[in-house]
Amino acid sequence: MRVLVLGGYGAVGAPVVEALRGAGHTCVVAGRDPRRADRTVDLAEPGLAGYLSALRGADAVVNASGAEDPALVRSATDRGAAFVDATATSGYVTEVERLRPRAPVLLSVGLAPGLTNLLAADLPGRGPVDLGVVLGSGERHGAAATEWSLNLLGRSFPDPATGEVVRNLTRGRTFDLPGRRRRLYRADFSDQHTLTRDLARPVRTHLGLDSAAATTALALLARLPGAGAGALRSVPHLPGSREWTLVAVSGGRRRWARGQGQSRGTAAVTAWAASLTLNLSAGVHHLHEVATLADLPPTEGISLG
């Protein structure tokens, strides 16, 4: 395929390009910096002229820019290009699901959502599923990923099964992770909303950092009146490593995945997902609808159990 990668020189975009080229695809790196991009594209430009021009000849678009605009999806699919997006924002996912695209759109294609979807779908039974997401706070994340995480603070979301309002980073639950136990807290990742609907069983996502102390501090901060993203923007660095862990638990059964480097792990799953669009029909799909955990190819840096 010829793949246009938006944000293709970023923390996630660069390893996506590397993985796609390693699989034999042609990649066009798009971004605002002409020194690092093959095509200069400003996604904030009125009319999206640069983006529309860069779409010529593309078989697929991978959005690693962090921009969440349904117009990007419509423009690509109207021209016959598949669109792949690793977003974790539930509101944006809902907007995209309302589209009637003329080419495949594949969502939930990173670690969380993405690999978490495959872990949950692999659990038998009809009982509730609890997802745990532990991110490496010692990793330098891309600007979009960092901003997304910070914006969880001070916000609430409806529980996908009950409709009850849940404040981010509250309602802790203890998880048995590979080699350790950790208390994690509810967070508004899109996987729980999609999976509760598609699996017809309650799914709840919980978040923490690999540093237990940093996780506790975030949970305490989330309970303060007026707490928001600005409270952490002045913190230069949080303690921790680059290790991430995902776990799905239901009825005493557990599936987990872990690795080093969240950005590279996200990129590996996203690049694999992009190759799946070759065989998809027009319409909006999620990764768990088109693949299973067993389909995930052996991936350097990702362990399953």
Evaluate whether 269 touches 118 at the Cβ level (below 8 Å): no
- Indicate if 129 and 251 belong to the same structural domain: yes
Cα separations (Å) of 195 from 43, 107, 176, 284? Answer: 30, 12, 22, 15
pLDDT score recorded for residue 108: 98
Tell whether the model's pLDDT for residue 234 goes beyond 80.
no
Number of H helices, E strands in the chain: 11, 16
Distance (Å, whole) CA 285 – CA 174: 32
Based on the fold, state whether residues 280 and 221 are members of the same structural domain: no
Which amino acid type is present at position 232? L
Residue 144 is predicted with a pLDDT of 66
Q: Are residues 236 and 119 in the same domain?
A: yes
Higher-scoring residue by pLDDT: 238, 205: 205
Share of the chain above pLDDT 70, in %: 93
Q: Are residues 251 and 123 in the same domain?
A: yes
CATH, residue 19? 3.40.50.720
Q: pLDDT digits over 93-144, tens only?
A: 999 999 999 999 999 999 999 999 999 999 999 999 999 999 988 777 666 6
User: 213 and 253: one domain?
Assistant: yes
Are residues 90 and 178 both part of a single domain?
Answer: no
| Position 239 confidence tier, pLDDT thresholds 50, 70, 90 | low
Same domain, 119 and 257: yes
Does 246 lie in the same domain as 186?
A: yes
Per-residue pLDDT band for 226 (boundaries 50, 70, 90) equals low
For 140-161, what is the mean pLDDT? Answer: 80
Name, in order, each residue with C-beta under 8 angstroms of 49's C-beta and a sequence gap of 6 or more: none
Quick check: 8 and 64 in contact, CB under 8 A? yes
246, pLDDT greater than 50: yes
Threshold 0.85, pTM exceeds: yes
Model confidence over 43-99: pLDDT tens digits?
999 999 999 999 999 999 999 999 999 999 999 999 999 999 999 999 999 999 999
Average pLDDT of span 274-298? 97
CB 271 within 8 A of CB 23: yes
What is the CATH classification number for the domain harbouring 233?
Answer: 3.30.360
**247-274, pLDDT tens digit by residue?**
999 999 999 999 999 999 999 999 999 9
Phi, psi of 227 (to 5 degrees): -65, 140
- Count Cβ atoms below 10 Å from residue 73 Cβ, excluding itself: 24
More confidently predicted of 233 and 170 = 170
**138 and 215, same structural domain?**
yes
The per-residue pLDDT for 4 is: 98
Q: Within this chain, do residues 290 and 166 fall inside the same structural domain, yes or no? A: no
| Number of compact structural domains in the chain | 2
Shared-domain flag, residues 86 and 187: no
Mean pLDDT, all residues of the chain? 92
Count CB neighbours of 100 within 10 A.
9
Residue-wise DSSP of 35-79: TT-SEE--TTSGGGHHHHHHTTT-SEEEE-S----HHHHHHHHHT
* Domain carrying residue 43: 2-110+264-304
Residue 61 makes CB contacts below 8 A (sequence gap 6+) with: 3, 4, 5, 6, 55, 72, 76, 81, 82, 83, 84
Looking at the fold, whether 141 and 245 belong to one and the same domain comes out as yes
Answer yes or no: is pLDDT of 233 > 60: no
Which DSSP category does 99 fall into?
A: -
The larger pLDDT score, comparing residue 203 to residue 220, is at: 203
User: Predicted confidence band at 232 (pLDDT cuts at 50, 70, 90)?
Assistant: low
- Among 195, 120, 200, 204, CA closest to 164: 204
pLDDT given for residue 121 in this prediction: 98
